[in-house]
Structure 1
Amino acid sequence: MTDTLASWLTARTDSELADLLRLRPDLAVPPPANLTVLAARTEQRASVLRAADDLTVLELTVIGFLSDLGGRERGVTRAALTEAVAGRAPVRAVDKALKVLRERALVWGTKTLRVTPAAQDAVTWRIDAPRDGLTAAQIETALAEVTDVERRLLTTLATSSPIGRTRDAAPGTDPERPVQRLLARRLLNWLDEQTVELPHQVGQALRGETVIDPTALIPPPIHTTALKVADVNAAAGGEVLELVRHCEDLIAALGEQPATTLKAGGLGVRETKRLAKAVGVDEPRVTLLLEILAGAGLIGSGTPEPLPAADTGDDYWAPTGAADSWTGTATAQRWHLLAQTWLDLPRRPWLIGMRDEHDKPIAALSEEVRATSAPRDRRFVLGLLAELGSGHGASATEVVATVAWRRPRWSARLRADAVRHVLAEAAAVGLVGRDALSSAGRSLLHDAPAESAIAEITASLPAPIDYVLVQADLTVVAPGPLTPELREQVSLVADLESAGTATTYRISEASVRRALDAGLGASQLHTLFATRSRTAVPQSLTYLIDDVARRHGQLRAGMASSFLRCEDPALLAEVLASPVAESLALRALAPTVAVSQAPLAEVLDQLRAAGFAPAGEDAAGAVVDLRSRGARVLRRRPRPAPRMPAVPTPEQLDTLVRQLRAGERAATAPRGDAVLADGSRASSAATMALLQLAVRTSRSVSIGYVDAQGTASERIVEPVSVGGGQLDAFDSAEGAVRRFTLHRITSVSLSG
């Protein structure tokens, strides 16, 4: 039996110490000098509460029982703990809970169990509370009947201490008094004549948390639904296509008209509504897309180029240069960037539109949406679905109950609505399909290589097709996702009419002219439809292309600032006689040539608006594509992620454990020939002499050392050489020769 936590830790194996440092990484920052220092850190209240955040209801209840039975002072036998649990949980479950608590050094000892004193503060409910409390439905019904005075009283207890002192608790008090009415409804528990208690479940309901019974030490059951993995992946694949398409449309909408940034940051309600209408989705969907695109660096806030026509001098949200390269990649690769961004996004998009503490709506892309715990919460919720196995799903209600039992200390932030929103967002991103985790979502959640997740989602998506179906009414039907090259060509010559599994485009005179403006010729358009259409090309389409092409390009514009060139003098004369000639200040140089000082893009736009069909040309006379690519902003340096205690690697853990063992040996080694060095360095000569003696006799020494960061440590080393203000010695903790600066050595003694 061990008397102290330090001695119990000393008796642990190296692998057990490594597990402790892995489960509680804050204990290793900075590295403790020895096991005594480590034991002191494990009992610090902040570290204990941080470790308790990952405990279940049963594990926290075991801490409560041990604390109540005297585990902080004299220890508790295993038999006494079994009697306290009294059959409320299986023995194996209690043993497993004790194992979890020992691994984290919150409970220590074998036959006699001791509990870290600060651990009791992690239990937020009374362990010996009555086990016949109201259910969630009964609490909701009872709260609906209370008066305003009674609700204020309950709210005060829910947001402060659940214990209240009042004279109205005494027997014989008027039953119409608020406290007596609440006692009668069982919304308060009677403790004595002057004390009442708010039941834990009632407090949860008042705070908007998931109501759980802390006396139930068995996890709530999850009734899974068995599904075909292919069906789950197909449902997720459909969401992937919609996600990528909507993000493309949103990038295009912001490129065409950047959105003004609010003075407080973020995006206003009016701009959000405009973008939702442009993309054809509801506002919650467009705000989720905005947050993901901003997190991925595909949109940003700044000064766009070119500036909007009605520039207000404010910053704008617009696509970045990265959006152009993202648009040109395959669908699966585009999805991977979006999904990975959402999984690691330190924000909660579902908060957008809700009211803040000042009763103002929370704006998209604002600082109020930031939450550093969001990635951890997402991974935990999706991890519960991953535990069910491939092809097994669960309802959101059961996931909510399981989350509340597994992580009761997260209840303030991971409420029922938060869990439901996480599941809904995961489905919208394509990680969840039909309430089950998809194969690609599982790969992403387990941090598999990007190629694995991309391959999984590629298998879930319909294979791209390289053909279309041209209809007699000049519609083009794509019965599946088109190859990137064909999609770009069809989008150029036809307008999107409806999207979905089968996408419909419509060809018009304006769309054909757009393709011709981009540099395609009539023969190229004929070849496109002849080779890519599985149906016969209607004659009306052939006539339309030829008719538009016949008129297109007869009038040529260049730089003079701009010039007009036309083989038909009558057509050029018609242009010069029209009102547009005056606004462009056109001047004839010859029967077939005219010039203007207006920019070429403006000449083309105004002539087209006047009903003409000019084409732009370069110095060689070739048709050039002058379409606007949309506004773009420079991508700003991303905001640094919040610094969290990093989990050490196995190699780092092994090294740290060796250092702890060496430090413990040095701290407990006998010091018969100790030579202490103080700030005056009066004993420097003696320190040097003792180190040189150790080199000559090949003896190890125990030294006290303070490194450049000010961290003091004790260690046993084997000196190799001394000189030049340096000590070279073999450090068994690191398994290598290390160099020590002599003036940083605070003590020296021969070891052994």
Structure 2
Amino acid sequence: MSSLADWLRERSDETLVALLRARPDLATPPPPDTAVLATRIGVRSSTARACEDLDSFTLAALEALVLLDADLAPVRLDDVAGMLGSGITPQQARRAVEKLRQLALAWGDDDALATSPAVREVLPNFPAGLGRRAEQLTEDAAKAALADLDEEEQRLVGKLAAGSPIGRTKDAAKDVPLAQATNPVQRLLAKGLLLRRDAETVELPRQLALAVRGDEPMGEVEPDEPIPDLTESDQSTVDSTAGGEVLELLRHVEELLGAWGEDPPDVLRSGGVGVRDLRRTAKAIDVDENRLGLLVELAVAANLVANSEAAEPQWIPTYQSDTWLASPPEQRWAALAQAWLDLPRLPGLIGARDEKDRLLGPLSEDLRRPLAPKDRRRVLAYLDELPGGFGARPDDAAAVLAWRAPRRGGRLRDDLVRWTLAEATVLGIVALNALTTAGRVLLADGGAEAARAVADALPEPLDHVLVQADLTVVAPGRLEPDLAIEMKLVADVESAGSATVYRISDASVRRALDAGHTADDLHALFRNRSRTPIPQSLTYLIDDVARRHGRLRAGTASAFLRCDDQVLLAEIMAKPESEELELRRIAPTVLVSPLPLADVVETLRAAGFTPVAEGPDGNVIDLRESGRRVRGKTRPAQPAGIARPNAEQLAELVAQLRAGDRAGAARRGSAVSPERGRPSAEATLQLLRDAARERRSVWLGFVDTRGVRSERVVRPVSVGGGVLQGVDTTSEELGHYPLHRIMTVAVVED
């Protein structure tokens, strides 16, 4: 049985380059020779990382090698194929083993396959659900014993053979002679057909499980990837459907920012948002709590909302959110989509409970998962493989990805697929189970480029609305930005969707007048923007509100009220609220108050009056609050993964491996004695000059500019100026080696 190091030395340079590309952790730092590379391959953490990307069939082949004890003695490929089952051909088994060879998880010829002990450590305790062997039980004896079992015993053995070989029972507490056994567990223990692990645990011997399974020793093994029933839609239909989802998403995030700007929720001591705050917000913006949880995670990830970090911290929109709100829709979407793609958290866990039965809410630290971005991209990459317009249902996609990498994702493996597709649908990255054009660009080129694709998918903005006789206004699609702003000011949203319905009321018209519009402005707005005739009721409403609007003028004294109608002022003074406002008359037509102007106006409006605020110049001013803002945080850089060297670097690294092997195999003669860990400069110079004069090769222990130590055999050409010029005997290339970087040196014997 050849060692892994010997097997690696026999591989071609191209094979080693492919190995280092597939397992980049082996190349960091660069191994000085093949022996070191072989040692790294056998490290448990590196082996576990390599197993994560194995498909179900290749992983089954690796389990078969472990079951055949390939880490103790070499096994034959035919034995591996037999362990995989009668339905597996030798060609299929060879294909799986070849993948394992490419990753150096297995090595050797077909007649002498081996694995490292680390492979057994990273696989489950019971590969393929097979337990330990019973020492006194042969396979023939197990088959004979199986035929003699009664119905109860066969049922128990069959259950343990089909799943885990471990069973929990109180009947394993003590030995009971076969004649006195009263149940199948005691009888099987007495016959030696069950192994006792402890007082409450039994284990089915491997020989008996194999006898039950017959021609399928490892159970059902799937050699090929499952073929899902794909859905098919026209790509333009997929993109247009996603466009509607994008507009809905942007509207909800905008409403979330508005709601939290006016009434920000508190930050819980454990992080996150309280249940009552979430319910209040969900009701305010008319979304369900699951969708709101995702919106909150997106807003914080995109730096639109941040923790105020005050004495009583709250979740408050950031100054950056104002820039986001003023941006075009496609750019707003790009910021959210990129933030979601890079989000190291799992919003899908919102609403679940942790080990202590505590509810997991949005922004909770328990939602943090550093590998979430990688898993998210893996799901979308599968859809990216499908032709345009073709998609896969979540369950089918989960089945395919589970076959491709059964060890990825842990117990949440299939849930991760469903959560990713659901969230991607909300974001308009996926629609009708298919990846959108913008989604493909997002994966390949990032959010900035994907924004252009989204812009093409969004419906053209409309420059008109439809005014109805019942004082509602219908926007049959997305409105132009300036028109949308005007409509939000003069009317309230009654229902939203592909078409938005606004409701005009006294309060909404007064809001527009408070903001500085006149009655003529509002008449002109509806006259110029409505494709339907203006109902007389709307004209009367605007004129009636405008006639009453501004009769009462408020200013600062801290605040004052002025009105030409002395009867109206007298009515105000007679109200109980006047005492609260501390009003006093300073002239027949003027009242003053020490309270802030906004408080005076708000109290009078609550009492049924319609005052309007005016500034020092006598013009109407808008007292509406713009919402609180805090400074956002700089998004932390994503943790760097293992650096993947390029092809040129890998080729150079393999060349260094070969040089290290050659240097290690070289016989060394006279050497320089080290002084305090390294040779003296004088002795090094003398040895190198003698070698150059006698044309003899030397073995160097050399540290490069990156601090990486390597060994090589060099033929000195010249020594001077603190540099050795010599030919590397492996590559036959002339190199320059600063003397201060030479750690050890010895003459190579012929």
Inter-CA distance 474–119: structure 2 relative to 1 (3 Å threshold): same
Q: Hey, what does 1:450 align to over in structure 2?
A: 447
Q: Hey, what does 1:234 align to over in structure 2?
A: 240
Alignment of 1:353-432 (within 5 A): 353-410=351-408, 412-432=410-430
Aligned match of 2:286 in 280, 283, 304? 280
Q: Do 1:463 and 1:481's aligned partners in 2 also have CA atoms closer than 8 Å?
A: yes
SS of residue in 2 equivalent to 1:748: strand
Inter-CA distance 657–681: structure 2 relative to 1 (3 Å threshold): closer
Inter-CA distance 171–220: structure 2 relative to 1 (3 Å threshold): farther
Inter-CA distance 701–550: structure 2 relative to 1 (3 Å threshold): farther
Inter-CA distance 583–684: structure 2 relative to 1 (3 Å threshold): same
Inter-CA distance 281–197: structure 2 relative to 1 (3 Å threshold): farther
- Displacement of 1:502 after TM fit? 1.0
> Given residue 471 of structure 2, which amino acid in structure 1 is its aligned partner?
L
> Given residue 505 of structure 1, which amino acid in structure 2 is its aligned partner?
Y
Q: Do 2:350 and 2:360's aligned partners in 1 also have CA atoms closer than 8 Å?
A: yes
Inter-CA distance 624–688: structure 2 relative to 1 (3 Å threshold): farther
Aligned match of 2:629 in 628, 632, 637? 632
Q: Hey, what does 1:58 align to over in structure 2?
A: 57
Q: Hey, what does 1:204 align to over in structure 2?
A: none
- Deviation string 1:274-318 (CA, Å, 9 cap, x unpaired) is 2222221222221122122222222122257xxxxxxxx531122
SS of residue in 2 equivalent to 1:473: coil
Q: Hey, what does 2:214 align to over in structure 1?
A: none
> Given residue 530 of structure 1, which amino acid in structure 2 is its aligned partner?
R
Number of equivalent positions: 701
Q: Hey, what does 2:613 align to over in structure 1?
A: 616
Q: Hey, what does 1:345 align to over in structure 2?
A: 343
Report the Cα distance in structure 1 between the residues aligned to 2:645 and 2:230, rounded to whole angstroms.
36
Q: Structure 2 unaligned segments of length 5 or more: list them.
A: 132-151, 207-217
- Displacement of 1:470 after TM fit? 0.8
Q: Hey, what does 1:295 align to over in structure 2?
A: 301
> Given residue 288 of structure 2, which amino acid in structure 1 is its aligned partner?
D
Report the Cα distance in structure 1 between the residues aligned to 2:411 and 2:195, rounded to whole angstroms.
36
- Displacement of 1:249 after TM fit? 1.8
> Given residue 461 of structure 1, which amino acid in structure 2 is its aligned partner?
L
Q: Hey, what does 1:117 align to over in structure 2?
A: 117
- Displacement of 1:114 after TM fit? 3.2
SS of residue in 2 equivalent to 1:624: coil
Identity of aligned residues (%): 45
Report the Cα distance in structure 1 between the residues aligned to 2:21 and 2:649, rounded to whole angstroms.
10
Q: Structure 1 unaligned segments of length 5 or more: list them.
A: 131-141, 201-211, 305-312
Inter-CA distance 655–251: structure 2 relative to 1 (3 Å threshold): farther
SS of residue in 2 equivalent to 1:300: strand
Inter-CA distance 224–525: structure 2 relative to 1 (3 Å threshold): same
The answer as to 2:275 corresponding to 1:250 is no
> Given residue 366 of structure 2, which amino acid in structure 1 is its aligned partner?
E
- Displacement of 1:482 after TM fit? 1.4
Inter-CA distance 741–330: structure 2 relative to 1 (3 Å threshold): farther
- Displacement of 1:177 after TM fit? 5.8
SS of residue in 1 equivalent to 2:343: coil
Q: Do 2:296 and 2:362's aligned partners in 1 also have CA atoms closer than 8 Å?
A: yes
Of 709-718 and 344-353, more deviation after overlay is shown by 709-718
Q: Hey, what does 1:223 align to over in structure 2?
A: 229
> Given residue 107 of structure 1, which amino acid in structure 2 is its aligned partner?
A
SS of residue in 2 equivalent to 1:550: helix
- Displacement of 1:47 after TM fit? 0.8
> Given residue 632 of structure 1, which amino acid in structure 2 is its aligned partner?
R
- Displacement of 1:515 after TM fit? 1.3
> Given residue 436 of structure 2, which amino acid in structure 1 is its aligned partner?
S
Report the Cα distance in structure 2 between the residues aligned to 1:350 and 1:539, rounded to whole angstroms.
51
Q: Do 1:168 and 1:194's aligned partners in 2 also have CA atoms closer than 8 Å?
A: no
- Displacement of 1:93 after TM fit? 4.0
Q: Do 2:261 and 2:627's aligned partners in 1 also have CA atoms closer than 8 Å?
A: yes
Q: Do 1:237 and 1:430's aligned partners in 2 also have CA atoms closer than 8 Å?
A: yes
Report the Cα distance in structure 1 between the residues aligned to 2:324 and 2:719, rounded to whole angstroms.
59
Report the Cα distance in structure 1 between the residues aligned to 2:561 and 2:44, rounded to whole angstroms.
81
- Displacement of 1:484 after TM fit? 2.2
Q: Do 2:319 and 2:631's aligned partners in 1 also have CA atoms closer than 8 Å?
A: yes
Q: Hey, what does 2:489 align to over in structure 1?
A: 492
What is the TM-score of this pair, normalised by structure 2?
Answer: 0.81
> Given residue 523 of structure 1, which amino acid in structure 2 is its aligned partner?
D
Alignment of 1:266-277 (within 5 A): 266-277=272-283
Alignment of 1:407-556 (within 5 A): 407-410=405-408, 412-444=410-442, 446-556=443-553
Q: Hey, what does 1:101 align to over in structure 2?
A: 100
Report the Cα distance in structure 2 between the residues aligned to 1:475 and 1:199, rounded to whole angstroms.
77
Output the aligned Cα RMSD.
Answer: 4.1
SS of residue in 2 equivalent to 1:318: strand
SS of residue in 2 equivalent to 1:114: coil
- Displacement of 1:319 after TM fit? 1.6
Q: Hey, what does 1:309 align to over in structure 2?
A: none
Inter-CA distance 682–32: structure 2 relative to 1 (3 Å threshold): closer
- Displacement of 1:76 after TM fit? 4.1
Q: Do 2:613 and 2:620's aligned partners in 1 also have CA atoms closer than 8 Å?
A: yes
Q: Hey, what does 2:143 align to over in structure 1?
A: none
SS of residue in 1 equivalent to 2:361: coil
Q: Do 1:404 and 1:411's aligned partners in 2 also have CA atoms closer than 8 Å?
A: no
> Given residue 455 of structure 2, which amino acid in structure 1 is its aligned partner?
T
- Displacement of 1:435 after TM fit? 2.5
SS of residue in 2 equivalent to 1:455: helix
Report the Cα distance in structure 2 between the residues aligned to 1:415 and 1:471, rounded to whole angstroms.
52
- Displacement of 1:157 after TM fit? 4.2
Of 315-324 and 683-692, more deviation after overlay is shown by 683-692
> Given residue 529 of structure 2, which amino acid in structure 1 is its aligned partner?
R
Report the Cα distance in structure 2 between the residues aligned to 1:452 and 1:356, rounded to whole angstroms.
39
Q: Do 2:129 and 2:165's aligned partners in 1 also have CA atoms closer than 8 Å?
A: no
- Deviation string 1:215-269 (CA, Å, 9 cap, x unpaired) is 3434333222333223333333333222222222222221121111222222222
Q: Do 2:467 and 2:530's aligned partners in 1 also have CA atoms closer than 8 Å?
A: yes
SS of residue in 2 equivalent to 1:703: strand
Aligned match of 2:581 in 580, 584, 598? 584
> Given residue 4 of structure 1, which amino acid in structure 2 is its aligned partner?
S
- Displacement of 1:641 after TM fit? 4.1
- Deviation string 1:297-349 (CA, Å, 9 cap, x unpaired) is 22122257xxxxxxxx5311222222222222222222222222223222222
Inter-CA distance 504–193: structure 2 relative to 1 (3 Å threshold): closer
Inter-CA distance 474–264: structure 2 relative to 1 (3 Å threshold): same
Q: Hey, what does 1:315 align to over in structure 2?
A: 313
Inter-CA distance 357–729: structure 2 relative to 1 (3 Å threshold): farther
Q: Do 2:702 and 2:710's aligned partners in 1 also have CA atoms closer than 8 Å?
A: yes
- Displacement of 1:374 after TM fit? 2.1
Q: Do 2:469 and 2:535's aligned partners in 1 also have CA atoms closer than 8 Å?
A: yes
The answer as to 2:12 corresponding to 1:6 is no
> Given residue 41 of structure 1, which amino acid in structure 2 is its aligned partner?
R
- Displacement of 1:368 after TM fit? 1.3
The answer as to 2:542 corresponding to 1:557 is no
Report the Cα distance in structure 1 between the residues aligned to 2:734 and 2:284, rounded to whole angstroms.
65
SS of residue in 2 equivalent to 1:632: coil
Inter-CA distance 531–119: structure 2 relative to 1 (3 Å threshold): same
- Deviation string 1:386-423 (CA, Å, 9 cap, x unpaired) is 33433223333333333333222236333444433333
Alignment of 1:121-136 (within 5 A): 121-124=121-124, 125-127=126-128
